[in-house]
Each structure stands twice: as structure tokens, then as C-alpha cells.
Amino acid sequence: MQTATEAGEATLLIGLRNPGAKYAGTRHNIGADAVAVVADRMSASFRSAPRGIPAQVADGRMGDARVRLAMPTTFMNESGQAVGPLIRYFSPGSFIVAHDDIDLAFGTMRIHHGRGSGGHNGIKSIVDTTGGTEFWRLRIGVGRPPGRMDPADFVLQRFLTDEEAEILLQEAADVLEAFVAGGVEAARQAAGDLKRG
């Protein structure tokens, strides 16, 4: 498989989230927070997306690879309103959507393509808006809710410790960088090396 780097096109990394201080640092925002870590590593600054697309975008380079980063400014269940227009406007060489997943043990990561939403409302919105499931996803395991806690309440909680969250963020950013540098197989290998569950 030819990587975006080899094709000379930008790779688009999209992180899902709920906007605003109320949701900062929550499990549901881990995808966008991981993309923000990649931006920090490249010293890339976010700005408003063009043409009124409800997202923030940033540009950078990773070696010879061009990278574009994006975070919707919509709420999670309306992510498709940003992702669909982002894909149409930028026509990336490849792209991946990073998001939280309560069906994976904390710290476990998986790369998937062409699957349904798995009950994730952000992914469901993207599928509904774009009309298909043919895109890459980085599923970041945030663990299962304890006892009978409502999953919706669980993902809106912050992590138990800042250290726990920071380790997960850095590891997720490593997988995203592997996707840019080496394509899907490199990302899968990086994600597999981090399997904890």
C-alpha cells in the first residue's frame, strides 16, 4: 500500500470530541486530545477551518510527510457535519479518525476499516453524513464503566489520574504518527505493541 507520504499528499488526522471547558480531559475527548499531542510535537497551531466548516485545523510536517490535523467544533453526536466537509474540501491522501472506545480495555488500541459505529455516536454521525464506513479508525480503549453506571455518564468523566491520561495520550499519538510515517500496517503494529487487555 502506498502511503500518503509516497504519494506526496497530506495525511489527515481527525480527533473526535465535545467542545468546551466542561468536557476538557474527559474520556470521550481522548481522540481529539491525542491529535492535539501530535500538533504539539510538530509545533503546529490550530485555526478555524475554511469555508465555515465547523472544525479547527492545523498543518505540519513529520519528516518528509505533510500532515493535516483536525478537531470538530461540533458536539460528538454531530461529528459528521464537520468530517464530511473536511474530507470533501481537503481531499487527503489518507485519513484516520481517532476516538474513544468503551468496548476496549483501558490502553488497548485497534485500527479498523469499514466497520459500523459500534454504538459510538460520533462514528455513527460520520457514517450517516458520508454515507459509508470506508474510512480508517483508531479506537482508543478507555475501559468499561463500573457496575451499572450509564456508559454516557462514564465517557463524560475525567480520567482517574492525570498520569494515566497522559500515558494514554502519548501512546495514542505514537500510533497516529506511525499511520503517517508507515501507513496502516505500521499503525497496527504500533497499536498491537500497546495492547494491555
28 catalytic residue (yes or no) = yes
Locate 90 and state its grid cell.
481537503
Q: For residue 32, give the H/E element and its range.
A: helix 30-42
Q: Angle at the Cα of 191 (from 186 to 193), degrees rounded to 5?
A: 95
What is the CB neighbour count within 10 angstroms for residue 164?
12
Helix (H, G, I), strand (E, B) or coil at 44: coil
Helix (H, G, I), strand (E, B) or coil at 191: helix
Q: Please, are residues 130 and 47 in contact by the beta-carbon 8 Å criterion?
A: no
Catalytic residue among 28, 99, 112, 120: 28
Strand-strand pairing, 11-15 and 65-72? parallel
Q: Which residues are catalytic?
A: 28
